[in-house]
Amino acid sequence: MKWSLNELRQVGGQPIEVDEILQLEDALKKRRPDIIGASKAHVHGLFSVDELGVLGYLQVNITLILPSTRSLEPVTLNLDFDLTEHYISHHEHDLSYFEDTDVVIVLKNDILDLDKVIEDNILLQIPMQVLTTAEKRADFEMPTGRDWNVISESQLKKIQEEKTELDPRFAKLQDFFSENSEE
């Protein structure tokens, strides 16, 4: 679904309601080849036009199938998120009207492509670490091999804390320089 900024401005003060089912699986796989599968995306929300441009409030719901980042087993990931973005013309150069926290998208050729907007935001919502239900459990045994093993962050912190503890054999030497500097 595409709109030009001029089309949206002609609507006037009335918000444009959106309730669409988008088939984005092929586009998502093209941009991120590790995606195994994707359901149709349900997009519900509205666009409102003001003097600054177009403001979109959208809710997106989609289910993705991705490989586990640890074992490569398929994981079903349900994404349900909201997004609020401002869309402005590529002719607009003054962004001082917007807050630092506002998401402002400059539209190429002044065309708002809903599919592209939703694709971008779905890809942004995919977490860095995708784990199966079993891998999320605390008692899950991490993969190991010959002369290597995978450890959790908590195990790594514990190892680092142990390394910072002073060897008792060197405890007397700890204050060696502080005593000599007083003389």
If asked whether residues 129 and 64 sit together in one domain, one would say: yes
Distances (CA, A) of 72 to 25, 33, 75, 136: 20, 14, 9, 14
If asked whether residues 168 and 100 sit together in one domain, one would say: no
- Token representation of residue 86: 């401002």
Report the number of distinct structural domains present in the chain.
2
If asked whether residues 88 and 112 sit together in one domain, one would say: yes
If asked whether residues 22 and 96 sit together in one domain, one would say: yes
If asked whether residues 123 and 159 sit together in one domain, one would say: no
Q: Note the pLDDT of residue 32.
A: 94
Q: What angle do CA 24, 29, 31 make, to 5 degrees?
A: 100
Q: Note the pLDDT of residue 36.
A: 95
Last residue of a domain, one of 136, 156, 172: 136
Provide the residue-wise pLDDT of the chain in tens; the chain has 183 residues.
787 777 777 777 788 898 999 999 999 999 999 999 999 999 999 988 877 788 889 999 999 999 998 888 999 999 999 999 888 887 877 777 788 888 888 888 888 888 998 999 999 999 998 988 888 876 777 778 888 888 778 888 888 877 766 667 777 776 777 655 555
Q: What CA–CA distance (Å, rounded) separates 102 from 80?
A: 21
Which domain, by its residues, includes 170? 144-182
75 neighbors 67 (Cβ within 8 angstroms): yes
If asked whether residues 49 and 124 sit together in one domain, one would say: yes
If asked whether residues 109 and 51 sit together in one domain, one would say: yes
Please state the pTM of the whole predicted model: 0.74
If asked whether residues 82 and 122 sit together in one domain, one would say: yes
Q: Note the pLDDT of residue 182.
A: 55
If asked whether residues 12 and 98 sit together in one domain, one would say: yes
Identity at 104, one-letter amino acid code: V
If asked whether residues 162 and 130 sit together in one domain, one would say: no
Q: What CA–CA distance (Å, rounded) separates 22 from 44?
A: 11
Identity at 174, one-letter amino acid code: Q
Exposure on the CB side of residue 46, measured as CA atoms within 13 A = 8
Put residue 171 in one of left, alpha, beta given phi > 0 → left and psi -120 to 50 → alpha: alpha
Longest dimension (CA), the chain: 86
If asked whether residues 127 and 157 sit together in one domain, one would say: no
If asked whether residues 60 and 33 sit together in one domain, one would say: yes
Pairing of strands 74-89, 104-107: parallel
- Token representation of residue 52: 């600054």
Q: What CA–CA distance (Å, rounded) separates 181 from 183?
A: 6
Q: Note the pLDDT of residue 110.
A: 82
Q: What CA–CA distance (Å, rounded) separates 61 from 39?
A: 9
